[in-house]
Every structure is written in structure tokens, then in C-alpha cells.
Amino acid sequence: MKDFEITYKKRLNSNMVWLKVYAPLVAKHAKPGQFIILRTDEFGERIPLTMAGHDSKDGTIDLIYAAVGKTTLLMDQLEKGDCFADIVGPLGNPTETKGLKQVLVVGGGTGNALAYPLAIGMKDAGAQVDMIEGFKTKDLVILEDELRSKLDNVYVVTDDGSYGEKGFTTDKVKELLSQGNSYDEIVAVGPPIMMKYVCQIAKEHSIPSVASLTAYMVDGTGMCGGCRIKIGGEDKFVCVDGPEFDGSLVDWEDLINRSKYYSKQEANAKAHICTLTGGVRYHA
Ligand SMILES: Cc1cc2nc3c(=O)[nH]c(=O)nc-3n(C[C@H](O)[C@H](O)[C@H](O)COP(=O)(O)OP(=O)(O)OC[C@H]3O[C@@H](n4cnc5c(N)ncnc54)[C@H](O)[C@@H]3O)c2cc1C
Ligand code: FES
């Protein structure tokens, strides 16, 4: 087996893929909530991805990614047996599980892939874990069976009502709390706007909240400043201080504004890659 070789590839929906990659040194030290930074080739950009799981015996790590732009579309061209140029990790702090008894994890869209290892990690540490998985529509639902087999309660909601219950994740959070469910912590992982409102609801109910943030990253070691965000008025780096933060302290407007910085460049790079590869291989 070669370093960074893809040993397994499974398509989860039209644009999400589950990979297992041979990276024994990373797998040996990985903990739930941590991420890696990879490059598809020696000229590639560095992108961060959460480890959805790891197996220190097999030396593999699990990555679940959405093909949304240049690098993730290039990843989509790789098959079992192909290798990434390099993978650095584990990076970031592991999920804090100490003392937690009852947790509600809320995942939105791609965020469900990031929430998956975190929810399982909390369950494995002995907490009761409920999870709300939110998606736009039925075709995008992922990881439902895997989560149901591990967690205490899993609620699936879709914006258009095509699967599970109709509504947003925030509606379901409010419903669970109004039914008298109590939690030590609510964890939000998904689009910043969803995390902002989930954390706001948690605050209204005096429940601590945690948000797993996905800022732009370059080095992943606190050197470049690319992932700087404001937490409680202080500058923090998502890569070394996070990726999980107290949701009540996040400056959401700052995060949302920063996530739009490179929209034009991203759109150009995506168009270029689609031209080179003949489009997205969604139906492989
Ligand atoms: C700590 C961390 C963990 C992550 N884990 C995962 C994961 O497990 N699975 C996964 O699919 N994605 C994850 N992401 C997001 C992932 O890094 C981006 O989707 C990826 O960098 C996009 O690169 P690209 O070149 O394909 O697209 P780009 O052209 O760079 O971006 C395309 C679109 O993707 C979105 N995007 C770009 N960068 C980010 C980012 N850092 N965070 C959120 N959205 C972004 C934007 O909407 C952008 O318009 C994570 C990000 C961070 C910071
Ligand atoms: S990615 Fe460079 S400081 Fe965090």
C-alpha cells in the first residue's frame, strides 16, 4: 500500500463521496473532531477536510467530501488505487467530550459529514446523543443509517418535505426543546447562518452551544492567518484554536463576510476545471 492511496470510494449522493485513504501516521494519532489538509497533486491548493473516522490498525482515515469547487472536483476524478500528493494531520483540537451527559448535534447539508465523527465520538465517550440532520431535499440525505445505528435519536428534516419532516433544523431544535428535552450542550455544524440561529436558540434556553467552524485555511498551523475569526472580540485561528468554539461568542457577521472573499476566484477556477474534465462526474 502506498502513502495517501485511496483504498475505498463510495458515492453517497449526487455530489458527496466517502473515501478511505491510507495514511498510517495520521490514523495512528487521529481523534474525533480533527481534520487533515491535503493536496491532490504537487501544484494543488491545500484544502482542509474533517476525518469522518480512522482505523489505526489498517492505517486508514475516512474523508467525506462534497464536490463544490476546483480541488474537490479534481478529487472526484480520483479512483481506488490513486494517490493524493500529500496529507498533513491530524490538525485542530479533538471534540471536547468530558462531562457531557446529553447532547444535541445539529448538522446542515455538507455539515452532516463533519458532524458525523463528532456525534459518534461523543456517543463513544458515554453521552446520550440526539442528532438532527437537515438537508434541502431527499436526494441529498447522507449517513442516516450509520447515525441511527449508533446514536440515541436521529431526526431527519428536509426544507421541501420530500423526506423526513418538512422544515429547517432550527424548527426541529425548537420543537425538541419545547417538548421538554434537555441537553447539556447543543452542537451546530453546517452553513454559518444555520449555526448562528441554532446557537441563538440554545442561548435563549440557557444551553451552552458549540459551533464547528470552517474558515478558509492555508497552512493549518496558525502561521498564515487565513483562518482568523473573531471570538468574543478576540482574534482566534480556526486551525489551532478550533475548529470548535463557544457558539455564543462567535462573530457570525465576520465569519459570513469572510466566507465570501474569494467567490469570484472560486467560480473562475471551478469553470476552468469543469472545462478541463468535461464537467462533473456526478454519475460515476
Ligand atoms: C476544518 C475544516 C474542515 C472541513 N471539513 C470538510 C469535510 O469534511 N467535508 C467537506 O466536504 N468539506 C469540508 N470543509 C470544507 C472544504 O475545505 C471546502 O469545501 C474545500 O476547501 C473547497 O475547495 P474547492 O477548491 O473544491 O472549492 P472552492 O472553489 O475553494 O470553493 C467552492 C465553494 O465551497 C465553499 N467553501 C470553500 N472553502 C470552504 C471552507 N473552508 N468551508 C466551507 N465552505 C467552503 C464555498 O461556498 C465556495 O464557494 C472543511 C473546511 C474546514 C476549514
Ligand atoms: S490556516 Fe493559516 S493560520 Fe489557520
- pLDDT over threshold 70, residue 280: no
- Indicate the pLDDT class of residue 272, thresholds 50, 70 and 90: confident
Tell me which residues have their CB closer than 6 angstroms to ligand 2: 217-220, 222-227, 237, 239
- pLDDT over threshold 90, residue 131: yes
Ligand 2 site-directed mutation target among 93, 239, 245, 261, most atoms within 8 Å of CB: 239
Q: What is the pTM of this model?
A: 0.93
**Residue 221 CA, ligand 2 centroid: distance in Å:** 6
**Does residue 270 have its Cβ closer than 6 Å to ligand 1?**
yes
What domains can you pick out in the chain, each with its CATH number? 6-91 (2.40.30.10), 102-258 (3.40.50.80)
Ligand nearest to the CA of 195: 1
- Indicate the pLDDT class of residue 278, thresholds 50, 70 and 90: low
**Residue 222 CA, ligand 1 centroid: distance in Å:** 18
Percent of the chain surpassing pLDDT 70: 96
In three-state form (DSSP H/G/I as H, E/B as E, the rest C), the secondary structure along the chain is: CCCCEEEEEEECCCCEEEEEEECHHHHHHCCCCCEEEEECCCCCCCEEEEEEEEECCCCEEEEEEECCCHHHHHHCCCCCCCECCEEEEEECCCCCCCCCCEEEEEEECCHHHHHHHHHHHHHHCCCEEEEEEEECCHHHCCCHHHHHCCCCEEEEEECCCCCCEECCHHHHHHHHHHCCCCCCEEEEECCHHHHHHHHHHHHHCCCCEEEECCCCCCCCCCCCCCCEEEECCEEEEHHHHCCEEEHHHECHHHHHHHCCCCHHHHHHHHHHHHHHHCCCCCCC
- pLDDT over threshold 50, residue 20: yes
pLDDT tens, 42-67?
998 999 999 999 999 999 999 999 99
